[in-house]
Amino acid sequence: MKQQSILVSHAGGPEVLELGETKIPTPREGQVLVKVEATGVNFIETYQRSGIYAVRYPFTPGSEFSGTVTQIGKNVRHLKVGDRVATASGEKGYAQYTVVNESELGKVPDKVDLRLAAALPLQGMTSHYLTHSSYLVRSGDVILTYAGAGGVGLLLTQILKMKGATVITTASTQEKKDLARAAGADHVVDYDQVEATVDKVTNGVGVHAVYDGIGKDTFETSLKVLKRRGTLVLFGGASGQVPPFDLQRLNAGGSLTVTRPKLADFLATDEERAWRFGDVFGWAATGDLDVRVGQKFALADAGDAHRALESRKTTGKVLLVP
């Protein structure tokens, strides 16, 4: 049986995301076949597509998706045909069907719409580990983050507010600023207003932590606005990667900490994955976490989805619907 999927034959621009026909895969031991309901589009796939991250060709991107289990491999213990599932750590999700190790999947609570469930695992669990593990946010902290209307930004802001932090964030348009404010951000400003805002809000002391997913364009400001012993969590490079820098600057800046984490290292055990998945989907089920899908694209238009993400045209989550 054949299916449609995206195939990338070499590194390049969004045009290398071509729709093709592949065989529907058969689940091996410990795996299930998932009929994809929707696939999350994430920056990592733009890094993979353009060659910043090495991949093997032909390549089908897509680690985040939701769907229904349609076939079970040998020794699958916790899932059955018909289960509604989602993952942030699958493979080949830009497709109608894909196989996944049972251990990578979480069950989607009944109260969460299956399509919406594709909008949550990667950016939701990222926001979870950033706030609970990379730097443990405490009530009363003042936190700076950027792109407050982005996929991570909207979820991160809501989780920061749950934890009792004051949130300073940025957005490039009025529409995005309104969304960031609606998510609970206390101060939403232009990028060139960050230093002055931190200065005002913290009486010149600086912020406890910065969550920086913009990278090249914001890194210097992020270091500058930290308080003594503050932490910079550099978790992405939407504007480009940060060049090498002199560690001595951390000493001069006030014994600062910089960390450069990735989600996979914070889903290291079944327990850890279940904890983060359970919290994030639990909050979505109770309505404590509002999940916004900004744009949906057909699978064939995956290139347009990448173009939109890379050119700052998106808000919230971008989904592909096969």
Q: Which residues bind ligand NDP (CB under 6 A)?
A: 42-44, 122-123, 126, 147, 149-153, 171-172, 176, 213-214, 217, 235-239, 261-263, 309-310, 312, 314
DSSP symbols for 80-96: -TT-EEEESS-S--SBS
Q: Which is nearer to ligand NDP, 35 or 296 (CB)?
A: 296
Nearest 5°: phi and psi at 296? -120, 140
Least distance between ligand NDP and beta carbon 218 (Å): 8
Least distance between ligand NDP and beta carbon 102 (Å): 23
Between 270-286 and 121-129, two packed helices, what is the crossing angle to 10 degrees? 110
Least distance between ligand NDP and beta carbon 145 (Å): 10
Distance CA 171, CA 64 (A): 25
β-strands 18-23, 293-298: how paired? unpaired
Count the Cβ atoms, other than its own, within 10 Å of residue 196.
Answer: 10
Alpha helices in 37-167 (DSSP H): 43-50, 121-129, 151-162
Q: Which of 197, 98, 153 is nearest to 294 (CA)?
A: 153
Q: Which is nearer to ligand NDP, 261 or 282 (CB)?
A: 261
Q: Which is nearer to ligand NDP, 69 or 160 (CB)?
A: 160
Q: Which is nearer to ligand NDP, 97 or 297 (CB)?
A: 297
Least distance between ligand NDP and beta carbon 106 (Å): 17
Least distance between ligand NDP and beta carbon 13 (Å): 15
Q: Which is nearer to ligand NDP, 6 or 238 (CB)?
A: 238
